[in-house]
Amino acid sequence: MSWTMSEKRRMIGEVTAGGHLARKKGVPLSVEYVSQVDSTAEDAPIGNGIAENSVGETAAAASAKAPDYPSSLVGTSVVTLDDISTQQIRELLHRAQYIDAHRTTVAHTCDGRVLATLFYEPSTRTRLSFETAMLRLGGQVIGFAGAQLSSVSKGESIADTLKTVSNYVDVVAIRHPKEGAALVASHAASVPVINAGDGGHMHPTQTLADLATLQSRFGRINDLTVGLCGDLTFGRTVHSLIETLCRFGHVRFVLISPDELKTPQYVLDRINATETCSYVEASDLAENIGDLDVLYMTRVQKERFFNEDDYLRLRDTYILDADKMRLAKQDMAVLHPLPRVNEIAVEVDDDPRAAYFEQVKNGMLMRMALESAVIGDVLPGYEPLQRKEVRA
Ligand code: NCD
């Protein structure tokens, strides 16, 4: 996809915070974001027609959540994981584990449901795993991959597209190159909207996959030293992961990037505001790898660069190879949201510390957990974590 310079500037450059977005202080939002939100959309209820399908399961699961979160995930749009409580995130992890162990049992959970995947940006894993997740739950899928074949090419707004698609489906997953697009979509839709990546901003379901991978590797998602390496400016998966790990607390972040691709201030502010978390910024991977429990590698985000020369100069700054892995702890986990370009040599794939293809599997399971939860469909035989904990 090729964008003009001014289009790219509009997508990522201007910082506008306003209106109901004040809750995410300092988040970079494109100018279009503000102009696209129409006042009627803001008042639109989320999850119309969904709540009545709710069952005790999800309500019970969320019964001990923070008071400012809804008591159930039914009908909830997930633009960032800040939209759901940490208890609900734990519940989703538990739900995904159950789904993995009971694939046949859950295969008809979403019979009769339809998911729309509206992907205005390239994707392999994310779209296919959202879709596979719904298919494996017994539901069906509609959507588009590439806006050129939809009415967007005729000039239709995101809000109108979502108001339309809401009539067809039970849940929407949307990916868009502009920061704030998923939020606009969630306000316009009358069914839950899940952000599958909005520009360089957030990618909550990738974070769910990352958390599931940490949980399975370490048995916990905190008390870890987490190195994030590569494009920390434009890498939305990094922003989502830091935001969420801060909520669970007790994480030391090592932010490894070239000067030009450092972590945005709004993300650093989040760490600073978390008493139990801290960060250091660094530029050398080999010097720091030995301290890490987790190394989260990222691709330099070519599509978000203003000019190709900068991209070419920066793209191979970090290459994780067998030599560097020799400097790392024996139980370090290497994560990467994928796709990789050059930043992890293929020789690392056989190292037991490579966890990036596990992340892919976890991504599908977490999307199964999330899709069924926001629709409100019961997983047969599933016992919510909350209920189990109360009984224990
Ligand atoms: C990531 C994304 O799209 O942000 N990929 C993904 O969804 N798994 C990372 C990337 O594209 O570099």
Q: Give the domain CATH number at 160.
A: 3.40.50.1370
The CA 237 to ligand 1 mean position distance, Å, reads 7
Opening angle at CA 209, ends 219 and 329, nearest 5: 50
Average pLDDT of 366-371?
A: 98
- Note whether 159 and 252 are same-domain residues: no
Question: Measured from the CA of 196, which atom of ligand 1 is nearest?
Answer: 7
Q: Position 211: which residue type?
A: L
- Note whether 243 and 294 are same-domain residues: yes
Average pLDDT of 307-328?
A: 95
- Note whether 160 and 22 are same-domain residues: yes
The CA 381 to ligand 1 mean position distance, Å, reads 34
- Note whether 190 and 213 are same-domain residues: no
**Token pair in block for residue 251:** 């994480």
| Residue 305 pLDDT exceeds 90 | no
| Residue 152 pLDDT exceeds 60 | yes
| Residue 189 pLDDT exceeds 50 | yes
In a domain, 388, yes or no: no
% the chain with pLDDT above 70: 81
Provide the domain limits for residue 90.
Answer: 5-201+363-381
- Note whether 197 and 228 are same-domain residues: no
Nearest residue (by CA) to ligand 1, atom 7, is 126
Query: Could you tell me which residue, 324 or 147, shows the higher pLDDT?
Result: 324
In a domain, 245, yes or no: yes
Nearest residue (by CA) to ligand 1, atom 8, is 337
| Residue 376 pLDDT exceeds 50 | yes
- The answer to which of 66-70, 132-136, 227-231, 287-291 has the lowest mean pLDDT is 66-70
- Answer whether 0.75 is exceeded by the pTM: yes
Instruction: Give the integer Cα–Cα distance in Å for 252 and 45.
Output: 39
Query: Could you tell me which residue, 36 or 171, shows the higher pLDDT?
Result: 171
CB under 6 Å to ligand 1: residues? 125-126, 197, 203, 206, 236-237, 299, 337-338
Question: Measured from the CA of 301, which atom of ligand 1 is nearest?
Answer: 12
pLDDT attached to residue 389 = 64
% the chain with pLDDT above 90: 76
In a domain, 369, yes or no: yes
Instruction: Give the integer Cα–Cα distance in Å for 237 and 239.
Output: 6
| Residue 338 pLDDT exceeds 70 | yes
- Note whether 226 and 110 are same-domain residues: no
In a domain, 374, yes or no: yes
Question: Measured from the CA of 237, which atom of ligand 1 is nearest?
Answer: 4
The CA 194 to ligand 1 mean position distance, Å, reads 15
DSSP annotation string for 24-46 = STT----HHHHHH--HHHHHPPS
pLDDT attached to residue 68 = 62
E strand or H helix that includes residue 187? helix 181-188
**178, 195, 206, 367: which to mutate for ligand 1, most atoms within 8 A of CB?**
206
| Residue 18 pLDDT exceeds 80 | no
pLDDT, mean over the chain: 84
In a domain, 326, yes or no: yes
Instruction: Give the integer Cα–Cα distance in Å for 27 and 25.
Output: 6
Look at the chain and report how many structural domains it folds into. 2
In a domain, 392, yes or no: no
- Note whether 238 and 317 are same-domain residues: yes
Average pLDDT of 132-156?
A: 90
| Residue 13 pLDDT exceeds 70 | no
Strand order in the sheet with 294-297: 278-282, 251-256, 224-229, 294-297, 333-335
- Note whether 104 and 227 are same-domain residues: no
List of residues 6+ apart from 84 with CB closer than 8 A: 69, 73, 76, 78
- Note whether 22 and 136 are same-domain residues: yes
pLDDT attached to residue 388 = 66
pLDDT attached to residue 392 = 57
Residue 66: burial class (beta carbons within 10 Å; 0-12, 13-18, 19+): exposed
- Note whether 323 and 374 are same-domain residues: no
Residue 380: burial class (beta carbons within 10 Å; 0-12, 13-18, 19+): exposed
Q: Determine how many CB atoms are found less than 10 A away from the CB of residue 206.
A: 24
Beta strands in the chain (DSSP E): 114-119, 140-145, 171-176, 193-198, 224-229, 251-256, 278-282, 294-297, 333-335
Strands 294-297 and 224-229 turn out to be parallel
**237, 301, 302, 367: which to mutate for ligand 1, most atoms within 8 A of CB?**
237
Average pLDDT of 210-235?
A: 97
Strands 294-297 and 278-282 turn out to be unpaired
- Note whether 220 and 309 are same-domain residues: yes
Chain centroid, CA 274 distance in Å: 20
- Note whether 94 and 195 are same-domain residues: yes
Average pLDDT of 333-344?
A: 97
Instruction: Give the integer Cα–Cα distance in Å for 109 and 137.
Output: 5
Residue carrying the six token digits 């370090």: 332
Average pLDDT of 155-161?
A: 94
Opening angle at CA 213, ends 387 and 145, nearest 5: 100
Left (φ > 0), alpha (ψ -120 to 50) or beta: where does 77 sit? beta
Instruction: Give the integer Cα–Cα distance in Å for 32 and 178.
Output: 8
In a domain, 175, yes or no: yes
Q: Mind spelling out the 3-state secondary structure of 292-303?
A: CCEEEECCCCHH
- The answer to which of 50-59, 193-202, 318-327 has the lowest mean pLDDT is 50-59
The CA 390 to ligand 1 mean position distance, Å, reads 38
The CA 300 to ligand 1 mean position distance, Å, reads 10
- The answer to which of 125-129, 144-148, 179-183, 248-252 has the lowest mean pLDDT is 144-148
In a domain, 99, yes or no: yes
Nearest residue (by CA) to ligand 1, atom 6, is 337
- The answer to which of 32-36, 233-237, 259-263, 274-278 has the lowest mean pLDDT is 32-36
| Residue 155 pLDDT exceeds 70 | yes
Chain centroid, CA 37 distance in Å: 22
- The answer to which of 41-55, 110-124, 196-210, 366-380 has the lowest mean pLDDT is 41-55
